[in-house]
Amino acid sequence: MLPTVSHGDGLHVYDTDGREYLDGCSGAINTNLGHGLTEITSRMHQQLDAISFAYRTQFTSEPLERLSGLLTDLAPGSLGNPLYCNSGSEAIEMALRLTTVFHAQAYRPFKCTVLTEEPSYHGMTAGALGASGHPLRKHNLTPLLANQATVAKVRPRHGEMRADVEQWERAIDEVRAQNLAAVIVEPVGGASSGAVPCDPAVLRRLRELADRDGFLLIADEVMTGLGRTGAWFGCDHAGVVPDVMVLGKGMTAGYAPLSAVLVRDEIAAAFDKPLGSVLFGHTMAGAPLAAAAGLATVEYLKEHDIPARAERSGRYLRALLDGVAARHAVVRDVRGRGLQLALGLHADPDRSPGVAHDLVRAARDNGLLLYPSGVNALTESVMVAPPLNSTEAELEELTVRLDRSLAALTPAPA
Ligand code: PLP
């Protein structure tokens, strides 16, 4: 039985029994600025009083236009032309839709294979889940995953958690360039590998191959985007501009549902009509209330230089986690980038997922929220990804509770 949430304050969450939890994983790695931030809630209240909904084919809104301008300024290269959705999954679905129409309208219908990674997680709708390399989340759903015939997978070498340059090159050769519509990649893994970064050399090579072979490079930045990894975008660490960038989660820091697909000018220009009118959209997508939350969030991130702060806090937290890891044999490694970190765990292959869920439960009993990740015993892990504006004292408290939770998990020596 789950506890009933009562209220939140910064990175503290309280239940109706009066218990306090420190949020070590920002909800689902989306409440990136903690709870009750008046800079966001006041703007939402104002918008709610003015108008919360207007249909996207009838009106635009001031917060949406300003948010679009801000995202276009912040995104690298010519990425912009935002299309809005309500969740990361929907936005991945939109990116797949865009890919399909992009090739079809240029008389390249044979370009229909999407290459993604094993492991990866791109969302729970049929297309996004079909493109994911996450067997646990696909279990029993095969009949629903209509796109299985058009999804190819790149796998890591035995004993490795993510594919290297050579594995990607081989997979692209196998698909054959003329059939490849797009590659989707997570700059740092989330629920899939548990914060294993993509080698920057892979992203750079994928950019070269996309240019050579005419497929779209889609960066799934639903988790990594907008500061989480200590840069504005995960791709920035490799200096790579994807053709399509998908944002979600941190866009409104959990204050409202909103996600976006950003598209390079050169790709958007290939469509003879505005993208929104070709690809359509969801009823609530980009409605004024969510747009106001998104605008207030992204302005806050910019004004307070939050990505740089996440980079500093990430280094600080990582050092603390290294100290904790050294005290507990169950911890295999500490990994990640910025404040998207994880503890890799020594898992029992016959009981995976097991230890990650045990640790999440033990942590909850010790007043700490963590996020289980990984798709097998090799990748089994818990993500440690607190809000990007956490203080050093809060990060220290997090590690005290984590240490206690790991001790509760590990049987005491005889
Ligand atoms: N892509 C990535 C990298 C994610 O981590 C997630 C969610 O965890 C999604 C897509 C799907 O987003 P949502 O849960 O908002 O549909």
To test the pocket of ligand 1, the residue of 32, 121, 259 to mutate (highest count of ligand atoms within 8 Å of its CB) is 121
Q: What is the pLDDT of residues 222-246, one digit of tens each?
A: 999 999 999 999 999 999 999 999 9
Q: What is the pLDDT of residues 244-270, one digit of tens each?
A: 999 999 999 999 999 999 999 999 999
Handedness of CA 268, 264, 71, 245 (dihedral sign): positive
Write the burial class of residue 247 (CB in 10 Å: 0-12 exposed, 13-18 middle, 19+ buried): buried
Handedness of CA 88, 94, 96, 99 (dihedral sign): negative
Q: What is the DSSP letter of 78?
A: T
Residue 122 near ligand 1, beta carbon < 6 Å: yes
The pLDDT assigned to 411 comes to: 62
Residue 250 near ligand 1, beta carbon < 6 Å: no
Q: What is the DSSP letter of 375?
A: S
Q: What is the pTM for the complete model shown?
A: 0.97
Q: Is the pLDDT of residue 60 over 80?
A: yes
Residues of the chain with pLDDT > 90, as a percent, come to 93
Q: Is the pLDDT of residue 413 over 50?
A: no
Confidence of residue 17 (pLDDT cuts 50, 70, 90): very high
Residue 360 near ligand 1, beta carbon < 6 Å: no
Give me the mean pLDDT over the 110-129 stretch. 96
Q: What is the pLDDT of residues 156-197, one digit of tens each?
A: 999 999 999 999 999 999 998 889 999 999 999 999 999 999
Contact yes or no for 189/119 (Cβ under 8 A): yes
Residue 242 near ligand 1, beta carbon < 6 Å: no
Confidence of residue 146 (pLDDT cuts 50, 70, 90): low
Element (H, E) at 154: strand 151-154
Distance 380 CA to ligand 1 centre (A): 18
The pLDDT assigned to 180 comes to: 96
| Nearest Cα residue to 2 out of 10, 17, 179 | 17
Q: What is the pLDDT of residues 287-297, one digit of tens each?
A: 999 999 999 99
The pLDDT assigned to 177 comes to: 81
Residue 94 near ligand 1, beta carbon < 6 Å: no
Whether ipTM > 0.95 holds is yes
Q: What is the pLDDT of residues 299-356, one digit of tens each?
A: 999 999 999 999 999 999 999 999 999 999 999 999 999 999 999 999 999 988 899 9
The pLDDT assigned to 310 comes to: 98
Q: Is the pLDDT of residue 412 over 90?
A: no
Q: What is the pLDDT of residues 75-106, one digit of tens each?
A: 999 999 999 999 999 999 999 999 999 999 99
Confidence of residue 72 (pLDDT cuts 50, 70, 90): very high
Residue 222 near ligand 1, beta carbon < 6 Å: yes
Give me the mean pLDDT over the 45-51 stretch. 98
Residue 191 near ligand 1, beta carbon < 6 Å: yes
To test the pocket of ligand 1, the residue of 32, 122, 192 to mutate (highest count of ligand atoms within 8 Å of its CB) is 122
For 188, phi and psi rounded to 5 degrees?
A: -135, 130
For 168, phi and psi rounded to 5 degrees?
A: -65, -45
Residue 294 near ligand 1, beta carbon < 6 Å: no
Contact yes or no for 173/81 (Cβ under 8 A): no
Return the residue whose CA atom lies nearest to atom 13 of ligand 1: 88
Chain-wide mean pLDDT for the chain? 96
